Structures are given as C-alpha cells and as structure tokens.
Amino acid sequence: MEESSPRMTGGTREAPVNISPAVAANAEGEEIEVLESTDVLPVAPEEVQWKSLFDKYDPENSGFISTERFRDLLATHGSELDPHKLEVLLALADGNADGKICYQDFVNLMSNKRSNSFRRAILQGSRQLKGCSLRDEVGLGLPQRLVRHVAYETLPREVDRKWYFDSYTYCPPPWLILAITIAEVAVFMYYGIQLDRLVLQVSSPNFLKSPLPYHPQLRVQAWRYLSYVFMHTGIEHLSLNMAMQLLVGVPLEMVHGALRIGLVYVCGVLAGSLAVSVTDMTAPVVGSSGGVYALVSAHLANVVMNWSGMKCQFKLFRMAMALVCMSVEFGRAVWLRFYPPAFPPCPNPSFVAHLGGVAVGLTLGVVVLQNYEQRLQEQSLFWIFFCVYTLFVLCAVFWNIFAYSLLDVRVPPAP
C-alpha cells in the first residue's frame, strides 16, 4: 500500500492513509449501488497481500464473502485504512442486496483500481454515502490547500476530489504547460530583441522569415503546422494567451496529467493550423490560441455540464471573466486579420485557429476531462471523437496537397 502524509481533520491527527474510491458519491447526496466487477486485473504484489487477507474470510474459495464476514474483516483491519476508504467499504457492505462481497471489487478498491464498474455504481446507486466534505478539513499546509483548491476547481464529484487530494504528490509536477509557456516567452523575447519591437511584432518585415510560423507558401514544411504556437504577433497577444494557458492549463494538468492535457493541447494546435489552411488559404498563422482555446473550451464546457457538482467559488463570475478574455483575444485577432497588412500581398495572421481549438475542446477535450481516472480507450465516445478528428486531419492533408492547385489559389510569396 502506498501511504500519503498524515493530515489534521477536526483537530485530530489521522494516521497515514491509502485512498481509492471504488464505490462512492459526491457531497450532493448522490447515491451508489454495488455492482459486481468483471474486470480481470494482473496480480500485483499488493494484490497478493489483499488476496491472502480475503482468503482468510473465504475458506471455501468461492470468490465471495458474506457481508457479516466482511464487517469482521473491517473491524479487525479498519485501523489500517483511511477513513474515506473505510467509509466506502462500509457502504459496500451495507448496500449489497446479495449479502456478499465480490473478491474483484474488494481488490479493485484496496489496490486503487477505478474501473468502469465503479463508475456505473456511482451513476446507478441506491444508497447515500455520508461523510465530511473535503472543504471542512482543517490544519492543512499550503501545498495541501493548493491541491484542495485545484480539486474544487476541476472535479465535480466529492469522491473524486477526496481521492485526488489524498493521492496527489506533486511528483511529477505540472511541467508540460509551464515548459510550453517558458518556451513561448523565450522565443518572444528573442525575436523582440532581433526585431527591435515588442508590440505588434507582426508589422516587422522580418517577422514571417522565422522558421516557426505557418505560411501557406511553405506548407510543405510540416513542422510549421505545430511550431507556429511559439510565435506571437506582439506582447498583447502573448499576455492574453499566457494568462489563460497558466490559469486553466496548470490546474488541469495537475489533475489529469501531462499526457491527457498534452493530447488536447496538441490536437487543438494542429486543428487550428489545418482549419486555417482549409478556410483562410492565403493567411499565415501564429500564436498558441489553438491549444489554449481547446483547453479553456473543454474546461468551461465541463463546468457547465456539471454545474451543480462544481463547488469552485464565484464560478459564474469567473466563467464570465474567462469568456470575456476569450472574446477580447478573438476580437483582437479578427481586427488584426482584416487590418491593412504592413507588407501586402501577404495578409495578417488568421483568426480561424481559435475556432479550430474551440471545436477540439468541445468534442475531444470534454471527453478527456469528464473521464477522470478512467481509461480513455474504454470510452466509446472518446474513440468516436478521435476518429472524427483523425478524419478531419486526413481530409485537411489531402486538401493541402491538391486543393490549392485545383482551385488556382493565389498564395502570397514566401517571406
């Protein structure tokens, strides 16, 4: 069993704990029902430990123990468990209409496995779990308060918030969004010095000569469909994107991990440049708006879809402010696109990348954020949206190969 650091709750110091909510509900009084799990899990060392304990109460090797024996097990070994987990186990015993506990459900819970059967139990429940809210915990240090704040910012279920709070260790830290932001600032400062301007760098004749921006004449250079994220039209562009990227991206990465958030971010960036190449065929692209708008749109959609469960403070005001920031940045991009370019015939950078990011956030991003600690490969909706996204990418690639010549598009010369 992995142990987390001790905590103070209600003025009493608790023992080191190990938490995993197999069957539980949120603080709103959501109900649960125990479903028999059919997942087949590999036998890990800690699972061997739990199997030997389970076998002591299952001498017939039937794979089940009665709820009475299960309560005896908890009475004997409950002091070794975290109160959150003990609370779930007692509900597991009380709520099972069959009067017996399945071995696989027991091992899943004790080994921190969160399977689809547990999610169905949460959604199809028939009994309430009553326990103190995570917000009522006292005596927490600054790192623990930050984790609790992030939990309430991003997760709609109290059981998920408790599990995240007890299991998060800051290892690894949220490095991906921070690394991308640092790289964007470094590139901006480099070109700020080289071009001798920080505001509206795009007005410099050498701005698009960088190997990073997407340019329709150079679309054969495939890396530009992603590398444009590190270039910005000016400090006003970088500041808005960086603020939204850090305020939304870092908490999401702390909860969902770098792999999932990186998937949404990169898909938004790629969708942004491909959307420009299809709909605004003569315009270049710069800025991280595709990835940023994918993350922000997915988060806002997740908040709206789970409005009653989200317990972040001032959520209506903060959501309105996020929409204002997105609108200001999008309005700036639209204005710049139709503003007379400094060096015609090449137009100013397109704004369509923002819309590509929003489309990714409202589809693929929402699925990723809704399935906290669930395997994405087991979610049919994830594969539907992923296949649609892949189809869009393939169609956009063929469009870039054939459409420009077939439509006789007059692409501005390379910078």
Catalytic residues: 289, 354
Residue 50 structure tokens:
């739990």
Q: How far is CA 387 from CA 268, 297, 381, 394, in A?
A: 15, 20, 10, 10
Alpha helix segments (H runs only) across 102-234: 103-110, 116-123, 142-154, 158-167, 175-195, 224-227
- Phi and psi based region of residue 4 (left: phi greater than 0; alpha: psi -120 to 50; beta: remaining): beta
- Identify whether 347 is preceded by a cis peptide bond (ω within 30 of 0): no
Residue 62 structure tokens:
């039937």
Report the alpha-carbon angle 348-352-354, nearest 5.
Answer: 110
Residue 246 structure tokens:
């850090």
CA atoms within 13 A on the CB side of 259: 5
Per the listing, tokens 């190997």 go with 211
Residues contacting 249, CB < 8 A, separation 6+: 177, 261, 265, 292, 295
Measured from the Cβ of residue 377, the count of other Cβ atoms closer than 10 Å reads 8
**What totals of helices (H) and strands (E) does the chain contain, helices first?**
16, 6
Alpha helix segments (H runs only) across 172-310: 175-195, 224-227, 235-279, 289-305
CB contact burial 15-40 (16+ within 10 A = b; e otherwise): eebbbbbbbbbbbeebebbbbebeee
Report the alpha-carbon angle 136-310-291, nearest 5.
Answer: 125
Phi, psi dihedral angles at 31 (to 5 degrees):
-105, 165
